[in-house]
Amino acid sequence: MSPVRAEIVVDLGALRANVRRLSDLVGPGVQMMTVVKADGYGHGMLPSAEAAREAGADWLGVATLDEALALREAGDTGRILCWLAVPDEDYAAGIEQGIDLTAYTVAELDEIVRGARRAGRAARVQLKVDTGLSRGGSTEESWPALVEAARAAELAGAVTVTGIWSHFACSDEPDHPENDRQERAYLAALALAESAGLRPEVRHLANSAAAILRPSSRLDLVRCGIASYGVDPAPGLTDHVGLVPAMTVRAQLAVSKQIRAGAGVSYGHTWVADHDTTVGVVPAGYGEGVPRHAGNTAEVWIAGRRRPVRGRICMDQFVVDLDGEHLPTGTEVVLFGAGLDGEPTAQDWAEACGTINYEIVTRIGGRLRHRYVDRHLDADARTAARGVTR
């Protein structure tokens, strides 16, 4: 096997601890959905899903039917919801596997009904209403027709309406007035559905930020994605939960050398040394999902110190300033991690790149290997040391 140039280390113990903390926070009677879409937000869908189930997750959430089917193929037998379909989706395959499908429109519901006929069994369907995100979900004007069609399909034995849900647009800003408006709109849509005879198993509105910051939105179930991986869904507002980032991205120094004052670094010479110094080459670049915007803005952790990225990020590598130190090749480089030892976090990289922490962890990958560790006790001990109790 070739040597490890760079890798993603995922602490499944931290993920389990996060799921348990979130479950403790929302309290008994509220089911937990761990969202594992987009390859588990870059952490690996299947290992993340297994860890979440071990921590008590009642549901798994994914975007696509293919993701849901992959979970079933891997042996997951619990409740799974998917919500993003395309024309000619093979709904029958999902229905046969007992996957909850989402309908936004009457036309989509009709496709699911046809899939149920092919599968020879009723489809589990959740209806999504658009309460203000203007993305997926039925509009307020179309909602009565969708509810009527769903009730008719249920009476015909083609579907069972198992859930009614929506999604916040501004839950990471708890004082934003849109949150109140969306919650009112959701409750009105729910009341209309119930008046038509629908009795969903689960009513859900809260994503990670709302699950933590807006108790009124917890209802029957919360959908926790980014928070399950220990990444702050509302930076600076959720420290009290004690989430532990599960992902560390690390590499080895491939080159370490001295450069003279006046030397330009990387393409375009966007950084020029103003004094003699040493630099190191890190063997990961935008081919691995390292954001190009990190050039001259982000920092990494090497030999107990943060070191600035110098010059542009390249496809396979980038350069860091070692500030005159002569460090041997093979020295560990941490791009970002939990931050418990001083290393940068995904949030630090997000701020350096002008993006959000979701994008940082989800886009990283490419040629990077995933390595899974289990530091459950270590994660709990470190969190306790920071003064956070469960």
Predicted confidence at residue 279, as pLDDT, reads 99
363-373 per-position pLDDT tens digit: 999 999 999 99
What pLDDT, on a 0 to 100 scale, did the predictor assign at position 375? Answer: 83
Q: What is the pLDDT of residues 21-66, one digit of tens each?
A: 999 999 999 999 999 999 999 999 999 999 999 999 999 999 999 9
Q: Is the model's pLDDT at 302 over the cut of 80?
A: yes
Structural class in CATH, domain 247-385: mainly beta
For the segment 85-129, what is each residue's pLDDT rounded down to a tens digit? 999 999 999 999 999 999 999 999 999 999 999 999 999 999 999
Strand 202-204 and strand 305-310: the pairing is: unpaired
Torsion of CA 328, 330, 332, 336, to 10 degrees: 120
Average pLDDT of the chain to the nearest whole number = 96
Is it the case that residue 381 has pLDDT exceeding 80? no
pLDDT at 376 over 80: no
Give the span between the Cα atoms of 7 and 245, in whole angstroms.
16
Sheet of 79-82: strand order equals 79-82, 59-62, 31-35, 221-224, 202-204, 159-165, 123-128, 101-103
The string of pLDDT tens digits covering residues 325-335 is: 999 999 999 99
What are the start and end residues of each CATH 2.40.37.10 domain in the chain?
247-385
CATH number of 12-231: 3.20.20.10
Which residues of the chain are in CATH 3.20.20.10 domains?
A: 12-231
Q: pLDDT at position 1, please? A: 62
CB atoms within 10 A of CB 216: 12
Q: Which residues are catalytic?
A: 37, 267
